[in-house]
Structure formats: C-alpha cells, structure tokens
C-alpha cells in the first residue's frame, strides 16, 4: 500500500484550486482583447459576458485540475525521454475531450543528456580522500534524471578547487582582491548567482577548468541548461528544426558561441560542503560561509591543498519533440490570433514547473469546450499551445515561431504565457506596455485567492507598494520567441516569487498537495 503522501495517493482537489487563477486571468485578458465590445446575444448565452460565463464554470474545476496534475506528475517527463510520451498523450486526449480541434507539430532539435559523471576528493599527493556523490539526496530512489547541466561539454579535470560564493562578477572581483586565481582550477559555487550558464561562462573567462554549482540544504539539486545566446535549437538558429532542415556544424561560429567551453555540473550542498571544508588559502568571508551553511567553519576559499577529480560525459543527440495545439476558430476575424501557451516538459515531476500551468491550461480547454457547446464563439481565433523542450532553452515554442514567423507577425494579437503558475504567495506579472492597462483592469475583476473580500488588484498593490509590472526583457520562458523574435505583445503571470524546489525532485505532486495552497483551501471552505 502506498504511503498517504506518495505520488500515487488520492488527490485533494481543493488544495489545487489556486492553479485556476493565473490562467483564469489570462483568459480574462484574452476575452477582453477578443471582445472590444459586449457580445451580441448568441444561442445558449442569453447575452452573457464571455468572461463571466468562463468564470461561472467553476463547479468541478478543482477536481479536474487535481486529477490532471496528478496524472501529469506521476513520473518524470524530460523532453526526448520515454516519460514524455505519456504526458503528451494526456494533454492531447484532454484537448480532444473538450471537443476542440487539435494539431501537433514535431521538430528534431539537438538535446543534451548526462551519460556519466564522477567526482572524488584527493589529497595533494593524489591519494583518495573520498568518493563524492553526484546524485540528489532528495531522490534516493533515482526515479528522476540524475543531476546535470544540459549542453555542458564532456571533460575531465584533476585540479585544486576555489570557492567562488555565488559566482557573480562581484565575487570574482573579491577573489582578485585576495590574490586568488581561478586559472587551471575547479570553481565551486552556490546556486543563486543568476543564470547558471552565466556563472559557468564567467568562471571560464577567468581560466577555470570546470564548475560545480551546489544545491540547497534541503537535499534538492537544481538541474538546468547551460546553453548561451538565446532560445531555440542551437543548430538551426533562425529557422525551424524540421526533419529536412539544414543544420550548422559544431565548428560554425554561430554554434560554437552558444556552448559552454568547460564542463559543469550541479551537486548537492553536502558534496560541495565536503570540498569547501577541505580548502586552505585566504579565510572565507563571513557572508560567504552562510551561503553554504558553513557558519563556524574557519577554513579558507582555496586553492588547495586538496584536489578535485571531476569527470563528465555528455550524450548529445537529435531527439523528436512534439508541440500540441487546440484551435478555436474566430467568428469575425478568424485570421487574428490570441495565443495561450504553457510548456509541459519537466526536469523532474514538474508539479510547479510547469504542470501547475499545464493543469490550468487543460481546465481552460475544458471550459472553452463547454462554452462552445452553449453556442458561444470567440470573435478572433484562440490557439492553446502545449510546448515541448522548454527546459532545454524554449526550443518547442521557438521552433514553431521560427516556422510561422510571417503569419504570427501579421496575425497574432497577443501571446499569454504561464510557466510556474503556482509556486508561492503573491501575484507577479510581466507584460509589454500595450497590455498594461488591460492587465490592471482584469485584476480588479478577480477575487483574491487568499484574502477574503479583496481582489487580486488589492493584494497585488499592497504587497508591492503599488502596481509593479515587469518589462519582459528576460528570455527564460516561452514568451521569449513571441516577443523577441516576432514582436508580439506578451503577458507572463505566476504566483510566488521563488520556489525552493525548482528543477529538483522536490517539485512533486506531494509538495503541491501539502504546501502549494493552504490559504486558498481555507478561503474555499469559508464559502
């Protein structure tokens, strides 16, 4: 019999209800964009505003979202692996069950996997001090893909180590002031210094031969890509990675500059701590000790006297990925598109990243299907998108945008994105300026999921000392190709500023069930 909190335990639907809100907001935005004026009376609608009709379909939504999230997170489903097929089939079947027209599009990009890794701590005379784990303590059964950095090159090093704190430019400058060089050494960093690919590139620029990035004290180890230079398949920059597409060689400058030049790997906090505690050299700054939980440790930042023996072997291969679409044709302007998107591939179970958004997207599809049966149709065409291979660098969405760039530039009204829909408390919103007012107006119409009697706008403003809408200059989710390649207005929404289990085995249905939305459970219970 499974443990009550195992991934196979029965769902508790009310705990997941807040997943509805980010995509509820998105759909409200899309409906307002689609209907610049109140819709005329149509069969089955009795003149009902479409946004209100959508929100009126809440009964049963909690159970539907819980069931979908449980199914989506029943096992790991990294893009290009066997586990991805079941999640793909689930999304496709749910779109079809809603009565929506479905389409799929396959691409064949270059993906990157871990083939082998080893790590050991040696004495100065090269005698073995300890074999070090390259596994994740939070995944003792090795159910998910073992920690690695996608596109990190194969390599080996036996070298002194230097602790670089978070690996930021200011940390490397501090090492310079202390007279500590990274040349020919292994840099040991703690996660938190920005994009991991940037941490690796900065260390490589100072002459490091390899980089290890430590996870958190909770046992999680953060996987992720280390690819540089923007989203999309690295071998087809600017055009889609279809089966017959031209591909650049690895020696092409446009390809070379996208790949890290030295190997890197994420490791557990325990593994990194063993290395750092063995180091001599200048004393650790007090604030650096806290980053790795080394309070009271009187050691140094290196280099030496110990050595790190690090080997990493990458498995690069062309893999098939699949984007899935549901299309609702507009009645007045069918060649104008409002696009809602979320990726479904995950480094581990993906309860937060990205399947909190996927479960909500599927519920949007369910509601739209019911609305269609009532006689409603949108003014413009709605396209629901389930992207693949986002975790490797927004590949699924980028390849589709590249393949359809002309049509999207001339026909797309807006792209509405959700990735980690629910990862904590508080709304965080980003948009292009064209959609600011619309986003603000919508939040005034939606009840806050955690504070009784308040709207999302009320608590959003209170938390931030006013309304704060981020400008989407970053390129870390699927809005990136729509905005930066095609110039389409975009919105990106999520709840919670940071999730400690990001890209780790802790991103599970268990976490969402037990911790993801306790306040909204009470909110619903009071109704």
What's the full length of the chain, in residues? 527
Residue 113's DSSP bridge partners are 315
Specify which of 37-46, 48-57, 68-77 reaches the highest per-range mean pLDDT.
Answer: 68-77
Does residue 41 surpass a pLDDT of 50? no
Residues 237/293, Cβ–Cβ less than 8 Å: no
- The encoded tokens of residue 9 equal 């335990």
HEC secondary structure over 265-279: EEECHHHHHHHHHCC
Averaged over 478-506, what is the pLDDT? 92
Q: Is 412 helix (H, G, I), strand (E, B) or coil?
A: strand
**What are the tokens at 358?**
């996927």
**436-467 confidence digits (pLDDT tens):** 988 888 888 777 777 788 888 888 888 888 88
| Alpha-carbon radius of gyration of the chain | 24
Average pLDDT, the chain: 87
φ, ψ of residue 52 to 5 degrees: the values are: -70, -35
Q: Phi/psi at 373 (nearest 5 deg)?
A: -65, -25
- Taking only the tens place, the pLDDT of each residue in 204-242 is 999 999 999 999 889 999 999 999 998 999 999 999 999
H or E stretch including 50? Answer: helix 50-55
| pLDDT tens sequence across 100-134 | 999 999 999 999 999 999 999 999 999 999 999 99
Q: Just list the catalytic residues.
A: 390
CB atoms within 10 A of CB 315: 12
Name residue, tokens 């792209």: 415
pLDDT band, residue 65 (cuts 50/70/90): confident
Q: Which range has the worst mean pLDDT, 16-20, 25-29, 195-199?
A: 16-20
Percent of the chain clearing pLDDT 90 (strictly above): 68
Tell me how far apart the terminal alpha carbons of the chain are, to the nearest angstrom: 35
Token reading at 22: 């980010």
* Of the candidates 101, 106, 105, 104, the residue with the CA atom closest to the CA atom of residue 381: 101
* 360 token code pair: 């909500």
Residue 12, pLDDT above cutoff 50? no
Structure tokens belonging to residue 47 = 């003149």
pLDDT tens digits, 122-178: 999 999 999 999 999 999 999 999 999 999 999 999 999 999 999 999 999 999 999
pLDDT above 90 (res 490): yes
pLDDT tens digits for 255-290?
Answer: 999 999 999 999 999 999 999 999 999 999 888 988
Q: How far apart are CA 204 and CA 177, in angstroms?
A: 19
For the cut 90, the answer to whether the pLDDT of residue 296 exceeds it is no
Residue 517 has pLDDT above 60, yes or no: yes
Q: For residue 514, how many C-alpha atoms fall within 13 Å in the half-sphere facing its CB?
A: 11
Tell me how far apart the alpha carbons of residues 415 and 522 are, in angstroms, rounded to a whole number.
33
Q: How far is CA 348 from CA 73, 212, 351, 383, 523, in A?
A: 9, 20, 9, 27, 30
Among 13-22, 205-214, 328-337, 517-526, which stretch is predicted with the lowest mean pLDDT? 517-526
CA torsion angle for 79, 84, 89, 92 (degrees, to 10)?
-30
Burial class (CB in 10 A: 0-12, 13-18, 19+), 404: middle
368-386 mean pLDDT: 93
Element containing residue 409 per DSSP (H, E): helix 405-411
CA 268, CA 176: separation in Å to the nearest integer? 27
Strand, helix or coil for residue 251: coil
pLDDT attached to residue 519:
38
Output the pLDDT for position 526.
Answer: 25
pLDDT bucket at 196, cuts 50 / 70 / 90: very high
Yes or no: say if 399 and 234 are a contact pair by the CB < 8 Å rule. no
Question: In the predicted model, what is the mean pLDDT of residues 11-18?
Answer: 45
Segment 421-426 mean pLDDT? 80
d(CA 2, CA 6): 6
Structure tokens at 450: 């955690």
Predicted TM-score (pTM) of the model is: 0.91
CB 131 within 8 A of CB 264: no
Burial class (CB in 10 A: 0-12, 13-18, 19+), 464: middle
Task: Return the number of other C-beta atoms located less than 10 Å from residue 120's C-beta.
Answer: 15
Q: What was the pLDDT predicted at 168?
A: 97
* Residue 224: predicted pLDDT: 97
pLDDT the model gives residue 18: 55
Concatenating the DSSP letter of every residue in 114-162 gives EEEEEEEEE-TTS-EEEEE--S-TT-TT--SPPP-EETPPPEEEEEEEE
What is the model's pLDDT at position 4?
29
**Residue 12 CB neighbour total at 10 angstroms:** 15
Give me the mean pLDDT over the 478-493 stretch. 96
Who wins on pLDDT, 59 or 248? Answer: 248
Confidence category of residue 193, pLDDT binned at 50, 70, 90: very high
Beta bridge partners of residue 264, listed in sequence order: 211
For residue 524, pLDDT beyond 70: no
Residue with token string 């840099």: 187
The answer, yes or no, to whether residue 44 has pLDDT greater than 70, is: no
């Amino acid at each position: 019999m499974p443990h009550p909190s195992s991934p196979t335990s029965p769902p508790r639907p009310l705990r997941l209800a807040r997943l509805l809100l980010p995509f509820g907001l998105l759909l409200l935005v899309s409906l307002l964009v689609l209907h610049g004026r109140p819709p005329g009376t149509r069969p089955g609608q009795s003149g009902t505003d479409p946004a209100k009709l959508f929100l009126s379909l809440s009964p049963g939504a909690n159970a539907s979202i819980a069931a979908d999230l449980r199914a989506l997170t029943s096992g790991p489903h990294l893009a290009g692996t066997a586990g991805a097929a079941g999640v793909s089939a689930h999304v496709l079947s749910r779109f079809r069950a809603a009565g929506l027209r479905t389409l799929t599009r396959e691409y064949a990009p270059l993906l990157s996997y871990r083939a082998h890794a080893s790590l050991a701590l040696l004495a100065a005379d090269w005698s073995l001090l300890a074999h070090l784990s390259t596994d994740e303590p939070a995944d003792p059964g090795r159910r998910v893909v073992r920690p690695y950095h996608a596109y990190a090159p194969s390599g080996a090093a036996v070298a002194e180590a230097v602790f670089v704190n978070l690996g930021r430019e200011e940390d490397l400058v501090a090492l310079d002031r202390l007279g500590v060089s990274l040349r020919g050494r292994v840099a040991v960093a703690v996660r938190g210094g920005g994009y991991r690919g940037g941490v690796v590139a900065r260390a490589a620029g100072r002459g490091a031969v390899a980089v290890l990035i430590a996870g958190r004290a909770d046992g999680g180890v953060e996987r992720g890509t280390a690819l540089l230079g923007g989203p999309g398949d690295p071998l087809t920059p600017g055009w889609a990675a279809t089966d017959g597409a031209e591909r650049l060689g690895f020696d092409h400058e446009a390809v070379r500059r996208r790949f890290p030049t030295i190997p890197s790997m994420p490791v557990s906090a325990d593994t990194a701590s063993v290395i750092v505690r063995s180091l001599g050299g200048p004393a650790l700054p007090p604030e650096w000790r806290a980053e790795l939980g080394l309070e009271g440790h009187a050691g140094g930042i290196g280099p030496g006297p110990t050595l790190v023996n690090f080997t990493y072997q990458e498995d690069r291969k062309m893999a098939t990925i699949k984007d899935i679409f549901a299309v609702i044709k507009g009645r007045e302007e069918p060649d104008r598109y409002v696009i809602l998107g979320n990726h479904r591939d995950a480094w581990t179970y993906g309860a937060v990243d990205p399947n909190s958004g996927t479960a909500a997207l599927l519920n949007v599809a369910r509601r739209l299907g019911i609305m269609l049966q009532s006689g409603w149709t949108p003014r413009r065409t709605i396209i629901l998108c389930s992207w693949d291979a986002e975790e490797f660098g927004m590949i699924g969405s980028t390849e589709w945008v590249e393949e359809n760039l002309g049509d999207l530039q001339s026909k797309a009204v807006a792209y509405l994105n959700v990735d980690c829909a629910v990862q904590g408390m508080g709304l965080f919103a980003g948009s292009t300026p064209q959609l600011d007012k619309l986003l603000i107006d919508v939040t005034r119409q939606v009840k806050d999921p955690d504070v009784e009697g308040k709207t999302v706008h009320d608590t959003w403003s209170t938390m931030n000392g006013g309304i704060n809408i981020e400008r989407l200059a970053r390129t870390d989710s699927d809005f990136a190709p729509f905005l930066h390649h095609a110039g389409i207005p975009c919105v990106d929404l999520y709840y919670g500023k940071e999730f400690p289990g990001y890209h780790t085995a802790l991103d599970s249905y268990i976490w969402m069930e037990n911790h993801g939305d306790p306040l909204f459970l009470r909110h619903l219970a009071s109704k």
